[in-house]
Every structure is written in C-alpha cells, then in structure tokens.
Chain A
C-alpha cells in the first residue's frame, strides 16, 4: 500500500519510521493498518502473515483500525533513555471496536491531566527517538492524544 508522504514545515517530507504500520490520509489524519482473521476474528497489529490461532495463511484480510479508544495505562519517562528526548509519555490505548490494545507515544497533553479511562484519538507526528543521522527522514510515527 502506498504510504502518503506527510509534509511538515517548509518542503520537508518525513517518512514513517517503519513501513506497513500506518498510512496518512488526504486530510492529514492517520490510520493504523492491521489485519484480521476471517475464521476466529482476532485482529493483529502489527499485521501478521497468518493467524496465530488458526495457523492458516489464507484467512487473514487487511483492516484499518478505528481512530478512537480508551487509555488503559500510561507512564511519563523522565530519564535514562539516551536515544530519546525526555520527558515523554507512553501508554496503551484500547480500541474496543477492533479488540486491539495499541502501545504508542502520547502527545498534546499535560501528564497532570491524563487519567486511565480517558478518550483518546489517533494522530500522526514526529517521533521522539533521536535520528541516527541528519539525513534520516524516517521520523514519522503514530501517537494518541486526548479527544478534545
């Protein structure tokens, strides 16, 4: 699936840090790419080659996950991460409709205002991990932020 390039700032094109996890739609909004087994209904994010319950490779079809979920847990990371700029927030968000729990960075929020059970929505943005070199454009990632 062609992944649209996300333009940030003047003439700067950023790429997903890894292919096949998400796409950016025309309106700039993100979508997580998953797949689901026809037989047993388990949803896989990231996508798998075959269902880990049925073990047959012809039962899986691509799906795009819903953008909204509830915050299951989170943590603010303050130190001891030389590859990342601190502080940053991470958490698990439950996408109830899809039956999937997603690990992601959390953004656009003050940790003081975060609480378990909050409504969260998917967004796309620059990842927090320091680029391995100056020309590295693979800096785009999915994140979740509180629903306004």
Chain B
C-alpha cells in the first residue's frame, strides 16, 4: 500500500438549515476544501460521497450543483459512519494506486426529515416494541451506572465540556456555556438521559481531499498522513453480552491500530461518536483509550478536556455540533487535520500529533449495532 494524505479539508457551519438545499451545502464544503488544498476541481479524479437519507445519486447531484461532472462518483450509505466510510474508500483507492487525488464528501440534511426520535429502519422488532435511538443508549447508561457507579452528574459533565469546546469552533452554532444543573434540569427524554445528553438536530457537509505521496511531493501544502482504518459490523449476540462494553468499537479500533502499526497508547486525541453522553463513555473505553470503567475517573478529574491527558471531542463532538449523519465522519477528519496542523485556535490541543476519528451507527435487532469505522491520522 502506498502512502496517502489529507491535503485539504472544508466544512459548512453545522446548524439547522431547513431552507438550504443539500447540494448547496456540499458545494460550500467542496469550495473550502479545494481552497485549503490549493488545487483545482479538475484535478479531482474520483468522488466518494457518504450520506444516509439524501436520496439516489446524492454525490452526482452535488457535483452537478458545483459545475463539474463526468468523473467516477460512488455514493456510500453506512448510517452514522457513511462519511467515515466515504473517507476510508477514498483513502484505500489512493493507497492502492488507483487514483492520485480523490475527494470524500460527507453530507446530510436532517431538518424536516424526522418527527421525534429516530428509530431503527422498517419492521425492526425492538422498534415495534418501543425502542428508539435515545432509548438504546439510555438502557446501556442505566446498566453502566449500576456496574461502575457513574452518576447523572458525570454524564452531564461530558455535555458541559463538549458544548464549551464547541464555543471555540466557528464550524458550529451549538456551542454554549451550559452547566451540569442546566443539563440535569433539561427535560428527560428517556431515563437517565436528558435533552442535553442528546445531540441536537443539525445539517451540514464536510469534504476532505485525499492525495498520494507523488502529489504531496509536487504540490507541498500542509498534508496530514492517513495511517490506518478499521471497519466492522455488529456481531450477533445470543446470550448475555456485556452491555457496558462496545465490542464493535473495540474490533474496529483494533483493526485500525493494526493497519496503522500503532496502539491506543500512541493516540494523542480523538474525535469520538458522542451522539449521547453515555456514548462517549462507552466508546473511549471501547477504543482502548482507557480501561473498562476508567471513564468515571477521567471525567471527574477533567482529563477529557482539551487541556487534559485524553482530550476527547475538542471540536465539540456531536453534542456540540449536532450530527448530520453522513457529514459527521468527514467533519471529524476536518478537526483531526486542523489539530495536527496546529490550526485549531482556542481549541488547540498541545502535542496533537496522532489523532483518531471514530463513528458508530445503526441498530439491527439481534446484533450489537450496524457499523463502526475508525480512521487514524498523524503528522507527516
């Protein structure tokens, strides 16, 4: 496999944008990424577009709106990890020597699509009996609290930290100086999760330009190296599985670490799929960034803050940016890239050299979940 790099990134400001066409958001992000990479659209050889609900031919519609078409475009649907997978496929295409310059787009317009909480697709049995995505996480939260003594205040602190990080991020409108009391007094969605334990509805697009070593040698710029990727689907779970541990996240992470030739101890910071506060707890542990049950102490000691030993979601995460499904994975790449380049301003993590981006999504009755993708980047 050849070396591959992120040469440019761009994203829209994540917000509710009911009156903006999805294609327009895609075009905004493309323009910014091309400018950041300092390349012309005509140099892009293939497009990988990740989304879940934008309809057929999403990537082609965005390219037509941009005004450049005729090149290979592939659309990728993998629920919350659609963008991560679009990025992964672009990475592998360049690493395999198929293309020298690819574009990964992640996009989702959520506004106006759902009434109430999102539920699993179609006639999923658990959905028929009342499960929703918040409820899935609430059930795990209750069990984790029972086994490890985690309290609602600890979960609330994750929301506080991520909302505060988002205040320093011009790519989101959802940042805020909220307190633990604000979280705990927000309406309960499903016990123990309150409204502020859940990510807000948001629309957006993010783009990464991925290139080969040959291009980096020729153009220079500020490339960040892509060193590993892992992808899993949820295993069947007959019997009594451990609801406090995300096996799927763990397997995707181990695959990515092996691909990269590094381990969790080498990761300086991570963008982790915090669709709900409890999700951040489960995933930091699943990624091997601390031992099982270890998040209780990391939260209470402030180690997950930007200034802590294990900075998580300096961008604000999903709690602080919202979660336009397909866009999130590539938005994480945007953040990891800016951090490694030391361009994160007030969000800058000291010593950010190797960063991890993690997305996990979906629910399929009988399995642990639908998909988990992990991508790892480091300074060149």
Chain A interface (Cβ within 8 Å of chain B)?
17-18, 21, 42-44, 46, 52, 72-84, 88, 90-92, 94, 99-101, 103-105, 111, 116, 127-129, 141
Contact = CB atoms under 8 A, between A and B. Distances in A.
22 contacts: A18-B128, A42-B239, A43-B238, A73-B140, A73-B142, A73-B143, A75-B141, A75-B190, A75-B191, A77-B138, A79-B189, A80-B116, A80-B117, A82-B115, A82-B116, A90-B135, A91-B139, A99-B238, A100-B238, A105-B129, A116-B143, A129-B128
B130 interface: yes
Interface of B: 115-117, 125-126, 128-132, 134-135, 138-143, 146, 187-192, 236, 238-241, 243, 365
Contacts of B126: 103
Given A43-B238, A78-B188, A79-B187, A90 B131 contact: yes
Nearest to A103: B126
Given A17-B128, A81-B132, A84-B130, A76 B240 contact: no
Given A46-B125, A80-B134, 7 more contacts: A17-B128, A75-B191, A77-B135, A82-B115, A91-B139, A100-B238, A116-B146
A74 B317 CA distance: 27
B142 A75 contact: yes
Nearest to A73: B143
Contacts of B139: 73-75, 90-92
A110 to B, nearest CB: 13
A92 B126 CA distance: 11
B233 to A, nearest CB: 14
A73 B190 contact: no
Contacts of A92: 139, 243
B191 A141 contact: no
A98 B129 CA distance: 21
Contacts of A82: 115-116
Nearest 5 pairs between A and B by C-beta? A75-B138, A80-B117, A73-B143, A80-B116, A77-B190
Nearest to B134: A80
Contacts of A83: 116
A53 to B, nearest CB: 8
Nearest to A37: B238
Given A72-B143, A116-B142, A81 B240 contact: no
A contact face: mostly helix, strand, loop, or mixed: strand
A103 B190 CA distance: 16
Nearest to B188: A78
Nearest to A111: B191
A101 B129 CA distance: 15
Contacts of A17: 128
Nearest to A21: B125
A74 B136 CA distance: 10
Interface centre among A17, A76, A90, A91 (most CB of B within 10 A): A90
Nearest to A44: B238
Nearest to A104: B129
B199 to A, nearest CB: 13
A81 B116 contact: yes
B238 A94 contact: no
Contacts of A21: 125
A73 B190 CA distance: 13
Nearest to B241: A101
Given A78-B189, A129-B128, A94 B135 contact: no
A129 B340 CA distance: 49
Contacts of B192: 75
A141 B130 CA distance: 11
Contacts of B129: 90, 103-105, 127, 129, 141
Contact of B130 (A79, A99, A105, A116): A105
B240 A78 contact: no
Contacts of A75: 135, 138-139, 141-142, 190-192
